Amino acid sequence: MSSFAYADFMSVNADQAFLHEAPSGSTKKSFIVTKGYPLEVIVSLKEWKKVKDHEGLINWIKTIDLSSKRTVLNLNSDNPIYLEPSSASPILAKVNENVTLELLDAKKIDNWVKVYSKVGDIEGFIKATDLWGIK
């Protein structure tokens, strides 16, 4: 059984991947998504996944274009990443809206999750309620 069988969320592994209306390369291409973009997996077929994006749109993507690496999408502009899981902790950086972050640990600590930002090589904590790609 594939490692994707029980994943709720996955990220795009290809530099650019097409989202299709149905599980076939001959169907209409709805959108292009880029590497790291998180998608919620709704249905898993061998070569295709039915996925939902942060806006609630449902499409299909080739399984080969996905990774089990977890990422999240920041929903707010200037969202701070903190050193520790507390708003009293020092701010390490502020993240723009619709920026993806690598999810280092899906386990929440009082509604905080640990993330990594490639920009600035920053590892810290951000409020889970400000993100899409984690339940």
Q: What is the pLDDT of residues 53-104, one digit of tens each?
A: 999 999 999 999 999 999 999 999 999 999 999 999 999 999 999 999 999 9
* Residue 64: φ, ψ to 5°: -65, -20
DSSP symbols for 8-77 = SEEEE-SSEEEEESSSSTTSPEEEEEETT-EEEEEEE-SSEEEEE-TT--EEEEEGGGEES--EEEE-ST
Q: Report in angstroms the alpha-carbon separations of 61 from 21, 46, 66, 93, 119.
A: 9, 11, 8, 33, 27
Topology classification of domain 72-132 = SH3 type barrels. (2.30.30)
pLDDT attached to residue 42: 95
Per-domain boundaries in the chain: 9-69, 72-132
The length of the chain, given as a count of residues: 135
The tokens for 9 are 């969320």
In the structure, what pLDDT confidence band is assigned to residue 135 with cuts at 50, 70 and 90? confident
* CATH class entry, domain 9-69: mainly beta
- The mean pLDDT value for 39-43 works out to 96
Q: Does the reported pTM lie above 0.85?
A: yes
pLDDT for 3 beyond 50: no
Q: What was the pLDDT predicted at 2?
A: 45
In contact, 4 and 49? CB cutoff 8 Å = yes
Please check whether residue 112 is in contact with residue 80, taking contact to mean a CB–CB distance below 8 angstroms.
no
Q: Share the mean pLDDT of the chain.
A: 93
Do 72-132 and 9-69 fall under one CATH topology?
yes
Instruction: Report which of 10, 29, 9, 11 is spatially closest to residue 19, judged by C-alpha positions.
Output: 29
7 pLDDT tier (thresholds 50, 70, 90): low
